[in-house]
Structure formats: C-alpha cells, structure tokens
Structure 1
Amino acid sequence: MTTPAGGDDPPAGPERREPGQASSDALRRPARAARLVATGLGHSMDLRRWRVLGTVYLRHGSRRVREAFVPVLTASLAAALAYFVSGEILGHQVPMFAPIAAWVCLGFSPDRQLRRVAEMGVGVALGVGLGELLVHLVGVGPVQVGLVLAISALTARFLDRGQLLTTQAGVQSVVIIALPTSMVAEGAIGRWSDALVGAALALLVAAFLPGDVKRRPRRLAQSALDELAVMLGTLTKALRTGDPQLAADALAQGRGSQSVLDAWAVAQRSAAELVRVNPALRADRRVIAELSRAATLADRAMRNARVVSRRAIVAMEEDGASPDIADHVAAIASALHSLAGALEHGDPPEHARTTLRRVAGELAPEAYAHEGWRKQTLVSLLRSLAVDGLQMTGMSSEQANEQLPEG
C-alpha cells in the first residue's frame, strides 16, 4: 500500500512503534514508579505531595492543641499554686523559681511519666542549690559560669543516668549565676526552697491527678487506626482506578501519620507507669496492657501498609488497575475504622474481627497466579496486614494465622 501524497496519516490500525520504542517504554515505567515511591517517602516533593502532607499536618496540629489544653491548664494552676505557697506561706518576696520549677517539670505534655517529672524536679533543685553555693564561694563571672555548669552536670551524672536531670541541673545553675542578686532578697536557701516547692507540687500533680489513665491511650488508638484506615482508603481508590499517583499519596499519608503512632506508644508507657505506682489505678492495668499490645501491632500494621503502597505503585505502573484487590483493601480499611471506635470506647471489636476474618479467608495468592506475580505479591502483603488487624482484635498470632487460606 502506498501512502497518499502530502504527508497524510497512514490508515487507522494498530499503533506503529519505531524500533526500540517498546523497550524504551519498559525502561521508563520502572523509573517513573521509582520517582513516585520517592515522593511518597518524602525524598522528593511536589505540589501534590505538599497538599497531602499539609492536610495531615493540620489534622495532627488540631489534635495536639486539643490534647495539650488540659495539661497546660493543670501545669498553669500548679505554677500559680507554687508561687502562692512560696510567696504567701513561706513569705518569699520574689518566689520566681517555684512556678518555673512547676512548669518545667509538668510542661504541656499529657504523658507525664513520674520518672521524667522526678528527674526534672531533682535537676532544678540541684542546679539552683549548686549555683547558690558557688555564687557565695567564688562569686560571678564568665569563669564561674563554666565552673558551675561543669560541676552541676557532673554531679547530676553521678546521681542518676537521666538526661533530663543533667540538662536541668546545668541550666538552672547557670541561671542562678547570671541572675542579678538584686532581684531576690531571700538568699540561697530561699531560691532553693522555691525550686523544691515547685518540683514537689509537680510530682504530686503527676502522681495523684492523672485523671482517667485510659482516656488518652484510647483516643490515640482511635486516631492512629483512623489514620491507617484513611491511608488504606486512598490506596483503595488508587487500585480501583489504576492511578499510581494516588498510591503515592497513600504512602505519603502513611509516613505523615507516624507521629500519631509514636505518641500512642509514649502515652502507653506513661499510663503503664502510673498504674504500676498508683494503687487506685490497679483495676486499669489489664486495659492498659491490652492497649499497649494494640499499639505495637498498629505500628507494625502501618509499616506493612506502607510496604503495600510501595508495591502497588510498581504493580499499577506495569499491570494497571486491580479492582478485586481494591475490594480487599477497602474491607480491611472498614474493619480498622470499626476497630478504632471499639478501642476508643472500650467496646468488643466483634464487627472488626468478623470483617477481618472474612477478608483473611479470601487472601489466597495462588488465586491470582493468572494475573502475574506483582498482584500475587500484593495479596501476600495484605495477608500480613489482615493478621495484624486480627491480633489487634484480641486474637493470638496462631489464631490469626489460622484464618488465612493455605498456600
């Protein structure tokens, strides 16, 4: 057949490729998948990824403000009470170290571990005491600042291994050296006793006013699992449409949500310490232990979900959409959302367990053998995610693995 003159297009038919074009496309696909994985991991950023991470950041910022409100309020009241005790009861004219010690020890975090509060309190008192002693022995000046800092820090390291104690001892001793003597009239004992008052009140607040020790871990459990469910929801859309960009968005969401999981782990350690030392909270030990186990499993589930997202990017670049696998991911996301509500309110996670058992029973990699090894890999990874979810509902590792089809 001859081509018409004038450079007209050839007749319609299968797309004609230049020699080597097919192999060039095959090379470009892995490179594009690698770039999308990199953006999802945060190694390179674009406007789309900034928008995704910005949404996650705003959501987490609002949560941090809500969580810090009560701790800041209690720390402020403790600081005011410390100022009152030192000023009105002890009769100190400028009891500035009392509220400083109370605030430094309590701070704005709801995770007030007793050891941490005690370290801060001892560090403040030690720094103020050593600073006052050296002021009276050697006076003030640049050399004295270096001397008192070295002595305070080394003394703190001898007394305890805690970093907070050493840091606060050094800081407070330098403050004492640098503080004009005209600002206080009580002398060394006055400022040292002010620091003790603030530290003691902070320790009492941390030990005996914890409120509902289960509330914060439960709220963080709900937030963490909802974040995981949102991530899997985005991944579901990606798998249904075959859009690897959405899978990269899911990966970015997963990375941006790690701070919630970390906060949950810290809250669990704080709650475990409180129920161990406070006899009134003995009844909460079992619940705290269960939430601690769930926190560890949720962190593992998030890591598994990020691996699924990375593999999904490559799979969609090569094989396109996977609506059937998307249905499995959507079911796991729904189960995790239900589990989040159950953990928050202390309800039995029966709905989540039933859904996850059903999904786990459908995750047979050999059923996808005709669709290629990439989809089989996704199904295999989802098996691990389903097992993590089942264990969070209270199943043992053996019981959860029994729900998977053999093969």
Structure 2
Amino acid sequence: MAAATEGPGRALARRTGARLRDRYHRVRVNVLLALQAGIAAGLAWFVAHDVVNHPRPFFAPIAAVITLAVSVGQRLRRAFELVVGVAIGIAIGDTLIYLIGTGPGQVGLVVTLAIVTAIFFGGGSALITQAASSAVLVATLTPPTDGVSFDRFVDALVGGLIGLGVMALLLPLNPLTVVGRAAKPALDVLAEGLTETAEALAERDVDRADAALARLRAAESDLQRLHEAIDAASETAALAPARWRTRGALNQYIDAAEHVARALRNSRVLVRRAILVIQDGEELPEALVAAVRSLSEAMDWLRRELGDAVEPVAARERALRAAGEAGMAYAEGWASPAV
C-alpha cells in the first residue's frame, strides 16, 4: 500500500538507496579478498622478478590472484591444481611449440594434448582449465625461442605459494566466527521447530505442527552452509599460524555437525508423528510434551556452548532429561510406532 501511494521520485530514491546499501555491503564483505589479492600479486611479481630474476614473470601474479579468488575452503587444493595444471600446460606448450612451431593447428594440438594429459592425471576442472589456458598462453603470447624453459613453471609455483601465504598471514578469518555464524541458523531452526512442536502437541494445533515441519525441511540449506563453513574454517585453522589455537574448539563443531544433521532428520520424523497424533486425537502424557521441550532446550544450549568454546555440559544435561521424560511417557503406557 505504501509503495502504491508514494511518488515516483521517492520510489526511485528508495530503490537506489537499497541498491547502494547492497553494493556497499558486498564491497565491505569482499574488501579483505581484494586487499589480499592486490598484495599477493605485487609480492609474487617482486619475488619472481627481483629475487628469482625472471624478466617477465606474468605467470606469478596470475597464479597468486587465482589462488586467492577460489572459494575459501578450497584454496589449498585449488592452489595445488593450479600449479600442476600450469606445469602441464607449460611443459607441453614449450616442448611442442619449440619442435613444431606456431600456427592454428599447433595451438589446437597443444591444447588437446594438455587437456588429455590433465585428465590422465586425474585432474578436476580447475587443473584441466589451467593446463589448457597455460598451453594457450605459451603457444600464442610467449612461444619459446631458446628451448624449453622452466621459468614459467617457477613463476606459477611462486605465485601459488605467495597466494597461500598471504591468505594465511594477512588478516586470516577467525574460524570460530565463520563456523559459529553458519551453525546458528541450523541450531536455531532445530530449537524453534521442536519448541513449536511441543506447543502444537500441548494445544492440539495441527497447523502449528505443519509450520514447524516446513521450517525443519527448509533447514537443509542451513545444514549445507554449515558443512561448507566447517571446510573453510578447517582450512584457515590449518594454514594460518595465528588461528592454530582455535583448532580444539573447531573440532567440537566438526564432531557436532554429524549429530546435528541426524537430529534434523529425526526431528522431522518426530514432527510428522506429532501431526498424526493430533489428527487422530490420541491421548498424550505430559511427560512426552516435556521431553520435546527439553530436547529443544538442548539444541539451544548446544549453540551457546559451541559458540563459547566450552564442553556442552548443559546441552547434554537437557538431552538426558529429554530421554528420561520420554522414558516416563513410555512407562505410562504410551509409545510412538515407527514412522
């Protein structure tokens, strides 16, 4: 209604402001990557040009930037693929172009052999792409004139190592912050979904239970982001000396992730059974509702204790209480059949 009544000028200003805020947020989130890439490119050129004494080490800054540009959590593997791919492309390109000369047919042959060789060595898409592109650069821009040289391979190695070094030493992300932010949505959805389920059982509200089930089903994407964050955090904790002390706390998240995934799946089963119980008008002991509430509290405490990097004592206590209350419900003569 407000959008319909505001004038076109105000609507344009509102949309422009929203776009500017979004772009500012994107710049702020990625400014560290831009800073790292710029420093890595300059350092790679300096080392290859002034330390190793290569006159035109353009492969070095390219390798550094590519190493930093891939997704966090994949940089170590991608840096390895980059160096191996460049080595394959340069070796094949230098050798064949030196022997058979340049031309469209030679370029096609060099690229084909580079890709086939990369596939033979079991390379992924990054390795294959780097092998082919390096072969193209060698065959077209810098064909060998004085025999096969290892200078360009050394440049790629220098760039890849400097890219990893800058990532590890220059303002490395806090692994616990990364994984904690990713874990919060998944654990919050679990806690809130179980709370809603307990209230739905207490109030015999099937719509509320349906809504809880929908939220738990949608949480698969949160779980995927948690696993990606754990991969990224593990890489940073392994490479950055300043973050080595976080590895113990990070292991708690790694151990918990599998159990959180199981809890999410089992909670959906629980909610589906709760919906049937409400629809069929079954009698429910209070202990069963209390058990679901205690399980919800366990998820909430798990998020807090993981975030504080402490042993999840309170979460464990609530989970055991939930099991005890479920046992009381069973002793009263109520049991849920398998779903």
TM-score above 0.5, yes or no: yes
User: Is 1:200 matched up with 2:164?
Assistant: no
Q: Which residue of 2 aligns with 1:135?
A: 97
- Consecutive unaligned residues of structure 2, counting only runs of 5 or more, are 1-24
User: Is 1:262 matched up with 2:227?
Assistant: yes
Q: Which residue of 2 aligns with 1:359?
A: 322
Separation in 1, partners of 2:72, 2:101: 40
Separation in 2, partners of 1:144, 1:260: 45
- Consecutive unaligned residues of structure 1, counting only runs of 5 or more, are 1-62, 382-407
Q: Which residue of 1 aligns with 2:178?
A: 216
Corresponding residue to 1:295 among 250, 257, 271:
257
User: Is 1:163 matched up with 2:97?
Assistant: no
**Number of positions where the alignment pairs a residue of Structure 1 with one of Structure 2:** 304
Please tell me the residue identity of whatever aligns with 1:170. A
Q: Secondary structure at the match of 1:257?
A: helix
Separation in 1, partners of 2:162, 2:48: 11
Please tell me the residue identity of whatever aligns with 2:304. G
Shift, 1:287, TM fit: 3.5
Separation in 2, partners of 1:192, 1:97: 8
Look at both structures and tell me which one has the larger radius of gyration over its CA atoms: 1
User: Is 1:253 matched up with 2:218?
Assistant: yes
Please tell me the residue identity of whatever aligns with 2:128. T
Q: Secondary structure at the match of 1:301?
A: helix
Is the contact between residue 213 and residue 268 of structure 2 (CA under 8 Å) also seen in structure 1? no
Corresponding residue to 1:118 among 80, 97, 122:
80
Corresponding residue to 1:148 among 110, 125, 148:
110
Shift, 1:343, TM fit: 0.9
With the length of structure 1 as denominator, give the TM-score of the two structures.
0.59
RMSD, aligned CA = 4.2
Q: Deviations over 1:232-278 (max 9, x none)?
A: 34544554422153134223322232322321442465367x27xx8
Q: Deviations over 1:79-116 (max 9, x none)?
A: 343345456765756x5433321122232533256344
Is the contact between residue 251 and residue 310 of structure 1 (CA under 8 Å) also seen in structure 2? no
335-344 or 187-196: bigger deviation: 187-196
Is the contact between residue 238 and residue 247 of structure 1 (CA under 8 Å) also seen in structure 2? no
Is the contact between residue 48 and residue 158 of structure 2 (CA under 8 Å) also seen in structure 1? yes
Shift, 1:297, TM fit: 1.8
Q: Which residue of 2 aligns with 1:109?
A: 71
% identical aligned pairs: 34
Q: Which residue of 2 aligns with 1:338?
A: 301
Separation in 2, partners of 1:267, 1:200: 18
Q: How does 1:319-330 map to 2 (within 5 A)?
A: 319=281, 324=286, 325=288, 327-330=290-293
Shift, 1:201, TM fit: 0.8
With the length of structure 2 as denominator, give the TM-score of the two structures.
0.68
Corresponding residue to 1:307 among 262, 266, 269:
269
Please tell me the residue identity of whatever aligns with 2:235. S
